[in-house]
Amino acid sequence: MPDEPLARLPDEIVLTRDEAAIVLFGLDALEQAELRAEEVSKVTRAVHLLTTKLWPDLGDLLDGDET
């Protein structure tokens, strides 16, 4: 594996509400798919991250569901 990253990501990314919905619905679809445990864990972490960024008041509800 090379030391250099494939791409450099910006420090911040801004999404419109419609773009955020696309990402969340895509992650929701992945949660419904048959995935290996490692993949499920990655999707779950992504869902939790986005949800807590978009709806901070829901963070406590997600904390009990972490993998």
Terminal CA-to-CA distance of the chain, rounded, Å? 27
What are the structural domain ranges in the chain? 36-67
CB of 66 closer than 8 Å to CB of 44: yes
What pLDDT does 59 receive? Answer: 61
Alpha carbon 52 to its chain centroid, in Å, reads 10
Residue 52 exposure: Cα atoms within 13 Å on the Cβ side: 13
Of 13 and 56, which is predicted with more confidence?
A: 13
For the full predicted model, state whether its pTM sits above 0.75: no
Q: Tell me: the pLDDT tens digits for 20-33? A: 888 888 888 887 78
Residue 1 exposure: Cα atoms within 13 Å on the Cβ side: 2
Q: Tell me: the pLDDT tens digits for 16-65? A: 999 988 888 888 888 778 888 888 888 888 888 888 888 877 766 666 65
What pLDDT does 53 receive? Answer: 83
